C-alpha cells in the first residue's frame, strides 16, 4: 500500500520542474480528508468532480458491503497529486508509463473550501471528521467475537 513508486514517477526526479505542486497519501478520512489537508496546508480551495475520481471495483464493493463511504474511508495507497495546469499532462503520462492509474479530478481555486461537483450539481464538501472504516472494523470484530 505504498505510494512511493507513484510519487517517484510523478516527480520524474525533480517535482518542481515536473509541474508537481504537492503530493499527499490519502489515509485517514480517505480522499475527502486528503483533499482537505492539501487545501488547508496550501491556503487554497478546490473544485472536484466526483465522477472523475478513480475507484477500484473491489473498494467500491467492500465499502458497499459495510455501508461506508469509499471517499471518506481510509485510502492507504492512494496518492493525491496537485500539479500546475501545464504539468498535469506530463504527470499523467509518467504515471501511465509505469502502469499507475490516474485521472484529473478538478482544480485548485483561490480562497478556501472545497466544492464538489456530483451528477451535475455543485455543493460544499464537508470534512468527514471521523473515518467510517474504524467503526465498521470494530463492528465486524465484535460480530466475529460474538460468533465464537
Model pTM score:
0.89
- What distance in Å separates the CA atoms of residue 91 and residue 6, rounded to the nearest whole number? 10
Place of cell 471517499: 71
All structural domains of the chain with their residue ranges: 4-118+128-147
129-145 pLDDT per residue, tens: 999 998 898 988 888 78
- What distance in Å separates the CA atoms of residue 34 and residue 114, rounded to the nearest whole number? 12
Residue 107: the pLDDT is 97
- What distance in Å separates the CA atoms of residue 131 and residue 28, rounded to the nearest whole number? 6
Domain 4-118+128-147 grouped into CATH 3.90.650.10 = yes
25-76 pLDDT per residue, tens: 998 899 999 999 999 999 999 999 999 999 999 999 999 999 999 999 999 8
Of the pLDDT bands very low, low, confident and very high (cuts 50, 70, 90), residue 147 is confident
Q: Identify the CA nearest to 83 among candidates 8, 4, 3, 11.
A: 11
Amino acid at each position: 500500500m505504498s505510494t512511493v513508486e507513484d510519487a517517484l514517477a510523478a516527480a520524474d526526479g525533480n517535482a518542481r520542474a515536473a509541474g508537481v505542486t504537492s503530493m499527499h497519501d490519502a489515509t485517514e478520512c480517505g480522499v475527502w480528508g486528503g483533499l482537505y489537508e492539501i487545501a488547508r496546508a496550501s491556503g487554497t480551495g478546490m473544485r472536484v468532480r466526483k465522477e472523475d475520481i478513480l475507484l477500484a471495483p473491489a473498494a467500491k464493493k467492500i465499502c458497499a458491503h459495510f455501508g461506508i463511504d469509499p471517499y471518506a474511508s481510509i485510502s492507504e495507497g492512494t496518492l493525491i497529486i496537485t500539479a500546475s495546469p501545464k504539468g498535469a499532462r506530463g504527470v499523467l503520462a509518467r504515471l501511465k508509463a509505469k502502469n499507475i492509474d490516474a485521472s484529473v479530478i478538478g482544480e485548485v481555486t483561490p480562497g478556501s473550501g472545497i466544492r464538489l461537483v456530483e451528477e451535475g450539481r455543485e455543493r460544499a464538501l464537508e470534512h468527514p471528521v471521523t473515518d467510517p472504516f474504524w467503526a465498521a472494523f470494530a463492528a465486524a470484530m465484535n460480530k466475529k467475537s460474538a460468533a465464537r
